[in-house]
Chains A and B, each alone.
Chain A
């Protein structure tokens, strides 16, 4: 059973891909059938993943040391050969489980959420393709194949964000997402190409062997390889919404809410984190590149949190929180810990999916009213949503015993370990990591604050909107919420540091030797305190109304505006695009028309002008023509008589014997 599943792991992405093909080609008109095919295939993939998962986890870290790999040649030529296939190890198994699980739930949830939408079949086709691409990415054995699925994920996000293409904002957001990711892909592709050229292979396993000893295999210096690593990292930055490529992610909320859940929780955005995790060896070999990753991660985490504080739309707040959490994951990678990053990725997938789906229920109930200031007191209308949402908020805030507590604590711990505060840091930049640690801690506080700000505004107090009468969502939507809620509670426990060797998450998903993490009680208390402080503050501001948020805003209007307008980064980009790139294009166009074409036309004009001048010679007088003709004869004769009888010209005319 396990062997069968393992040998046929390639079926996991193929099932949803087939669903996409079948739906687009044949069953598009039959909505019910399409939906069943889509959900059926993703469940099949899920079952396969579970079988593989049980088998792999049952064998401890065997697959970590000896991953299962099955490949066929995709194309090859001397000097460049790419294999396609599957690479199953503990990390990819974890991702497989998370992705298929979340996708299945989202697809079921969409049955309710998207009910009655005329494009339902199309929606399921896209989601299936999305799942297929993400699953393909997860098990890809090769960086180029990863890139292939990476781009397909981008395509699907484009299609799904722009699902309601009638809305200009949706199609613009889709475009923005794709193009922003493309800008990052420039770096990723460049990095991949440079790796291929220098190492002669893109196979993940071979690379992970060669990179630590790169001086043996290539002529690269450490600085050169660092440059490659940082260039490569541009791709994950864009995909995972890291500063300064984060702009597409909040806009991506234009898509249907289940899509947001899918993109932000389990699939697209974590692809960047996963890719960096897959080639973490490269970064660990190069401390500067690692520090770069950490800085970007920590900065993004803090930066997005400060924006999230002032936003007024539920999905926007969640989007910024996603950016922030992705920053955490990057920070964990930057602290050289694959375990912490993947652990947070997993728990985040559960609670963020929960939060998004919960937000979807709220939006559904409020008839797509976006502003949270119109909500209020939803607790009594939608109890299931309320309780599950509360679980999600507690989890993301990092309150014991919810999932976020364990993973966030682990990240803080590994960052702390790399900083000079711990006293036994090994890397070359302990001071930098100290700063990063402080940033992460501050972010933890902010996260708790803004999540509960939203929570209290939405679910407590009185309903402010008069137009709608909110109702609890149907079962098909709430059941996934409950399942996710359960996972948001329990999934953290797998990372409980006390579980020890052979049990803990850190044993299964790791890079290098397993090290038992001692629980750092100081840190645990600190982070819990910070989270509670954030929650308490939010409660005082927005529930008990002890303090007025308005007063604080009036005290620092500049900071508020800066945060509310997302530091004007979108405006800045727009300005660049409209005033620099578009103008540049326009200018070059004019250059092309008037200068390049002008030269071409100039030659034409010259010929015409020459014609106008030369045609005057044509007087129409036959006598002129004859005169000139005979003058020519005389000239020729004279020429020939002076060049001699043996000249070639004479020869041409018959010649002198």
Chain B
């Protein structure tokens, strides 16, 4: 019961803020609402016993990415901030489409019979994750590191532009 209450509360916050983010006319408000939504997702992770992920979520999404976005907004903003985030002409068909999707998703999920497993998940996730990541998925781990580096270099190059050699 407590679980249910928690879940519905968190879900309401997460979805509501995400939705508000979409319909907000002010891009700053959107960014802040997105932050709330991210934190909501972190709470969902906690509900799922994924404490480490919840921490990562807060750090990366709510911390880094939101900051990024806000910087982006500041770089590109001009004019009245209240009109910075309008809908495009596709809004109505997109809304219909999204509603359909949500319904389809819900129906599908409910109608599907899931193959549940009976094994209890490990209680301490951090160590288990570390084990996996540095043994079985070590290649992916390293590649991710390289990817991040590449993204960083790429981002710098793109923004800075290549100097034309004389």
State yes or no: do A and B touch (Cβ within 8 Å): yes
Within 8 A of A (CB), among B81-128: 88, 90, 93-94, 97, 100-101, 104
Residues of chain B lying within 8 A (CB to CB) of residue A630: 97, 101
Residues of chain B lying within 8 A (CB to CB) of residue A631: 93, 97
The answer to whether A547 has its CB under 8 Å from any CB of chain B is no
Cβ B90 vs Cβ A634 within 8 A: no
Residues of chain A lying within 8 A (CB to CB) of residue B88: 623
The answer to whether A649 has its CB under 8 Å from any CB of chain B is no
Cβ A634 vs Cβ B101 within 8 A: yes
Give CA–CA (A623, B90) in the complex, Å. Answer: 8
Interface size class of A (residues with CB under 8 A): under 10
Name B's interface SS: helix
Nearest CB in chain A to that of B88: its residue? A623
Cross-interface CB contact of B104 among A623, A624, A627, A637, cutoff 8 Å: A637
Residues of chain A lying within 8 A (CB to CB) of residue B94: 627
Tell me the number of A-to-B contacts counted with CB atoms below 8 Å. Answer: 16
Give CA–CA (A397, B78) in the complex, Å. Answer: 119
Give CA–CA (A469, B113) in the complex, Å. Answer: 125
Cβ B100 vs Cβ A627 within 8 A: no
Give CA–CA (A630, B93) in the complex, Å. Answer: 11
B86 CB to closest chain A CB, in angstroms? 13
- Per-position contact with B for A612-630: 1 when CB-CB < 8 Å, else 0? 0000000000011001001
B153 CB to closest chain A CB, in angstroms? 25
Nearest CB in chain B to that of A630: its residue? B97
Give CA–CA (A624, B93) in the complex, Å. Answer: 10
Give CA–CA (A336, B104) in the complex, Å. Answer: 103
Nearest CB in chain B to that of A638: its residue? B104
Cβ B101 vs Cβ A627 within 8 A: no
Nearest CB in chain A to that of B93: its residue? A627
Give CA–CA (A623, B100) in the complex, Å. Answer: 18
Residues of chain B lying within 8 A (CB to CB) of residue A627: 90, 93-94, 97
Give CA–CA (A285, B100) in the complex, Å. Answer: 96
Cβ B93 vs Cβ A634 within 8 A: no
Residues of chain A lying within 8 A (CB to CB) of residue B90: 623-624, 627
Nearest CB in chain A to that of B98: its residue? A630
Give CA–CA (A428, B97) in the complex, Å. Answer: 100
B91 CB to closest chain A CB, in angstroms? 10
Give CA–CA (A631, B88) in the complex, Å. Answer: 17
B92 CB to closest chain A CB, in angstroms? 11
A123 CB to closest chain B CB, in angstroms? 77
Nearest CB in chain B to that of A624: its residue? B90
Give CA–CA (A631, B90) in the complex, Å. Answer: 12
A469 CB to closest chain B CB, in angstroms? 92
- Per-position contact with A for B127-151: 1 when CB-CB < 8 Å, else 0? 0000000000000000000000000
B111 CB to closest chain A CB, in angstroms? 10
Residues of chain A lying within 8 A (CB to CB) of residue B97: 627, 630-631, 634
Nearest CB in chain B to that of A637: its residue? B104
- Per-position contact with B for A633-652: 1 when CB-CB < 8 Å, else 0? 01001000000000000000
Give CA–CA (A505, B63) in the complex, Å. Answer: 129
A623 CB to closest chain B CB, in angstroms? 5
B160 CB to closest chain A CB, in angstroms? 25
Give CA–CA (A181, B101) in the complex, Å. Answer: 85
B150 CB to closest chain A CB, in angstroms? 24
Give CA–CA (A623, B89) in the complex, Å. Answer: 10
- Per-position contact with A for B49-81: 1 when CB-CB < 8 Å, else 0? 000000000000000000000000000000000
Give CA–CA (A623, B97) in the complex, Å. Answer: 13
Residues of chain B lying within 8 A (CB to CB) of residue A637: 104
Nearest CB in chain A to that of B104: its residue? A637
B25 CB to closest chain A CB, in angstroms? 18
Residues of chain A lying within 8 A (CB to CB) of residue B104: 634, 637
Residues of chain A lying within 8 A (CB to CB) of residue B100: 634
Nearest CB in chain B to that of A627: its residue? B90
Give CA–CA (A603, B128) in the complex, Å. Answer: 66
Give CA–CA (A627, B89) in the complex, Å. Answer: 12
B102 CB to closest chain A CB, in angstroms? 11
Residues of chain A lying within 8 A (CB to CB) of residue B93: 627, 631
Give CA–CA (A410, B15) in the complex, Å. Answer: 125
Residues of chain B lying within 8 A (CB to CB) of residue A623: 88, 90
Nearest CB in chain A to that of B94: its residue? A627
Within 8 A of B (CB), among A469-524: none
Give CA–CA (A631, B95) in the complex, Å. Answer: 12
B45 CB to closest chain A CB, in angstroms? 27
Residues of chain B lying within 8 A (CB to CB) of residue A624: 90
Give CA–CA (A634, B88) in the complex, Å. Answer: 21
Residues of chain A lying within 8 A (CB to CB) of residue B101: 630, 634
A630 CB to closest chain B CB, in angstroms? 6
Give CA–CA (A511, B97) in the complex, Å. Answer: 102
Give CA–CA (A35, B1) in the complex, Å. Answer: 126
B36 CB to closest chain A CB, in angstroms? 25
Residues of chain B lying within 8 A (CB to CB) of residue A634: 97, 100-101, 104
Give CA–CA (A634, B107) in the complex, Å. Answer: 13
A105 CB to closest chain B CB, in angstroms? 92
Within 8 A of B (CB), among A61-114: none
Within 8 A of B (CB), among A243-279: none
A568 CB to closest chain B CB, in angstroms? 82
Give CA–CA (A334, B111) in the complex, Å. Answer: 104
Within 8 A of B (CB), among A552-571: none
B8 CB to closest chain A CB, in angstroms? 28
Nearest CB in chain A to that of B112: its residue? A656
Give CA–CA (A631, B104) in the complex, Å. Answer: 13
Give CA–CA (A634, B100) in the complex, Å. Answer: 8
B138 CB to closest chain A CB, in angstroms? 30
Within 8 A of B (CB), among A377-435: none
A639 CB to closest chain B CB, in angstroms? 12
Give CA–CA (A624, B88) in the complex, Å. Answer: 11
Nearest CB in chain A to that of B101: its residue? A634
A236 CB to closest chain B CB, in angstroms? 87
Give CA–CA (A630, B104) in the complex, Å. Answer: 13
Within 8 A of B (CB), among A127-180: none
B26 CB to closest chain A CB, in angstroms? 21
Give CA–CA (A630, B88) in the complex, Å. Answer: 17
Q: Could you list 10 A-B pairs, sorted by A, with CB under 8 Å?
A: A623-B88, A623-B90, A627-B90, A627-B94, A630-B97, A630-B101, A631-B93, A634-B97, A634-B100, A634-B104
* Given A623-B88, A627-B94: 10 more A-B contacts, CB < 8 Å: A623-B90, A624-B90, A627-B90, A627-B93, A630-B101, A631-B97, A634-B97, A634-B100, A634-B104, A637-B104
Closest 3 CB pairs of A and B: A623-B90, A634-B100, A627-B90
